[in-house]
Chain A
């Protein structure tokens, strides 16, 4: 297992880069696709991207750390995103966040040791009409309250 983590299979990266014809202008999308495939951006993938696109690794690193959806840290199987958009903020974001922190023991940006959950606070999920909102993976949960958190999380193993 350790070996795999140290040296991930990079063929997927090559395939992704080929899909974008190796053009560096697609760097942001290439990194998104790599994250989709590997769950995060392992360092060797970034090194390969720099090499294949013929751009400095410093630029790849700069882009990878600028955009908040990109992560250089390994994330959990289920990413909990709590929306801190304005509507959600007004309707009790803080209490939702605190309850998730209590339930999972995580603070923003962390992952549980068993890699079950990662916890992120995001700017806006764009579902303001059903605020407050959180999402787990691709599922949206609207009109949330601190009380419902336990139930929602229990669905994700």
Chain B
């Protein structure tokens, strides 16, 4: 594959054709803020925070780095006044949408937003529609228990027909990727409650320590994916212990 020359903040690099600008910049240690990009997922371009200034011959324009493929020589700047202004406005709009999303406060402050000048919403919780949960559930987990509904400013993330998410396997990936803590879960003994998706999942207990550790549905999905290889019903803690024990045993044996 042909390498393409490109310049980011004055640093000249050669990259694979169609590398995403955000990956290239991050590899160079250049910080680009984003709330909707995840390397495991394809580009999406929803939050608009990763905006950079792109110059190609005599043209200069703003583009989001997460969905900008490098396929010809570009000069990219990540820190111009225009970029700073755009990111600030994007953050301001996001904060007006989710004014109580505390996890965003440090980033907002860094981008120069303290109090949005706009009318703030208070009817939608902390969801900023980054789509990470939806895309993870669909593209990585392969379950698609949740999705967007409606369009425009009425868009929400929800379960099919707004009912209990019966496809949800309780893997908690949506909770982990959510940048604002909007998606909530609660483990309560034998059950995992996916509170945001109104799903209650029965937990399986570890065969060694007997602690509940994985929803039965998730266990089944993983087992099915392994196609015949047996998945031991052991929690991560016990598995680690077992692995260490096995190693130690192996080492002892070798020494003796």
**Do A and B come from the same complex?**
yes
Q: Which residues on A are within 8 Å of B, measured CB to CB?
A: 43, 46, 50, 56-62, 65-66, 72
Separation in Å of the B185 CB from the closest CB of chain A? 18
With contacts A46-B161, A56-B138, A56-B160 known, is A61 near B149, CB below 8 A? yes
Separation in Å of the A8 CB from the closest CB of chain B? 15
Find out whether the CB atom of B151 lies under 8 angstroms from the CB atom of A66: yes
Find out whether the CB atom of B149 lies under 8 angstroms from the CB atom of A65: yes
Residue of B with least CB distance to A64: B149
Known: A46-B161, A59-B147. 5 other contacts (CB 8 A): A56-B138, A56-B143, A60-B160, A65-B151, A66-B149
Find out whether the CB atom of A56 lies under 8 angstroms from the CB atom of B161: no
Separation in Å of the B99 CB from the closest CB of chain A? 26
Does B249 sit within 8 A of A, measured CB to CB?
no
In Å, the complex CA distance between A60 and B148 comes to 10
In Å, the complex CA distance between A72 and B149 comes to 12
Q: Which residues on B are within 8 Å of A, measured CB to CB?
A: 138, 143-151, 158-161, 167
Residue of B with least CB distance to A46: B161
Residues of chain B with a CB closer than 8 A to A72's CB:
161
A-B contact pairs, 5 of them (CB 8 A): A56-B138, A56-B144, A58-B144, A58-B160, A61-B161
Residues of chain A with a CB closer than 8 A to B158's CB:
61
Find out whether the CB atom of A65 lies under 8 angstroms from the CB atom of B150: yes
Residues of chain A with a CB closer than 8 A to B159's CB:
58
Residue of A with least CB distance to B147: A58
Find out whether the CB atom of A58 lies under 8 angstroms from the CB atom of B145: yes
Find out whether the CB atom of B167 lies under 8 angstroms from the CB atom of A57: yes
Residue of A with least CB distance to B137: A58
Find out whether the CB atom of B149 lies under 8 angstroms from the CB atom of A62: yes
Separation in Å of the B152 CB from the closest CB of chain A? 10
Residues of chain A with a CB closer than 8 A to B144's CB:
56, 58-59
In Å, the complex CA distance between A155 and B253 comes to 94
Residues of chain B with a CB closer than 8 A to A56's CB:
138, 143-145, 147, 160, 167
Residue among A43, A46, A58, A60 making CB contact with B167, cutoff 8 Å:
A58
In Å, the complex CA distance between A60 and B149 comes to 10
Q: Which 8 A-B pairs have the closest CB atoms?
A: A56-B144, A58-B147, A57-B160, A62-B147, A65-B149, A61-B160, A58-B160, A65-B150
Residues of chain A with a CB closer than 8 A to B151's CB:
65-66
With contacts A56-B144, A59-B144, A61-B161 known, is A66 near B150, CB below 8 A? yes
Residue of A with least CB distance to B146: A58
Residue of B with least CB distance to A66: B151
In Å, the complex CA distance between A32 and B159 comes to 22
Residues of chain A with a CB closer than 8 A to B146's CB:
58
Residues of chain A with a CB closer than 8 A to B167's CB:
56-58
Residues of chain A with a CB closer than 8 A to B149's CB:
61-62, 65-66
Residue of B with least CB distance to A72: B161
Separation in Å of the A133 CB from the closest CB of chain B? 24
Separation in Å of the B62 CB from the closest CB of chain A? 28
Separation in Å of the A117 CB from the closest CB of chain B? 24
Residues of chain B with a CB closer than 8 A to A66's CB:
148-151
Residue of A with least CB distance to B150: A65
In Å, the complex CA distance between A47 and B148 comes to 17
